[in-house]
Amino acid sequence: MSTRADALINEYLDRLEEELADFPSTRRRELVQEISAHIAEARASLENEDEASIRNLLDRMGDPADIAAEAAGPPAAEAPPPPPQQAKTRGSGWDVAALVMLLVGGLILPVVGWFVGVVLLWTSETWSTGEKLLGTLLVPGGLALPLFLLTVGTSANSCGGEVGGPLTCTGGNGAGSAAVTVLVIALFVVPIAVVAYLARRRSQVAAPA
Give the residues lining the site for another protein (CB under 8 A): 16, 27, 30-31, 34-35, 37-38, 40-42, 44, 60-64, 66-68, 70-71, 73
Beta carbon of residue 67, minimum distance to another protein (angstroms, whole number): 4
- Closer CB to another protein, 19 or 131, in the complex: 19
Q: How far is the first Cα of the chain from the last one, in angstroms, to the nearest whole number?
A: 70
Computed on alpha carbons and rounded to an integer, the radius of gyration of the chain in Å comes to: 39
- Closer CB to another protein, 61 or 138, in the complex: 61
- Closer CB to another protein, 30 or 49, in the complex: 30
Beta carbon of residue 34, minimum distance to another protein (angstroms, whole number): 5
Q: In angstroms, what CA-CA distances link 191 with 22, 101, 122?
A: 63, 12, 17
**Cβ proximity of 160 and 169 under 8 Å:** yes
Beta carbon of residue 56, minimum distance to another protein (angstroms, whole number): 12
Q: How far apart are CA 133 and CA 130, in angstroms?
A: 5
The count of C-alpha atoms lying within 13 angstroms of the C-alpha of 37, restricted to the half-sphere facing its C-beta, is: 5
- Closer CB to another protein, 31 or 195, in the complex: 31
Beta carbon of residue 71, minimum distance to another protein (angstroms, whole number): 4
Sort 32 into a burial class: Cβ within 10 Å, 0-12 / 13-18 / 19+.
middle
- Closer CB to another protein, 6 or 66, in the complex: 66
Beta carbon of residue 69, minimum distance to another protein (angstroms, whole number): 8
Question: Whats the size of the chain, residue-wise?
Answer: 209
- Looking at this protein, which amino acid is placed at residue 177? S
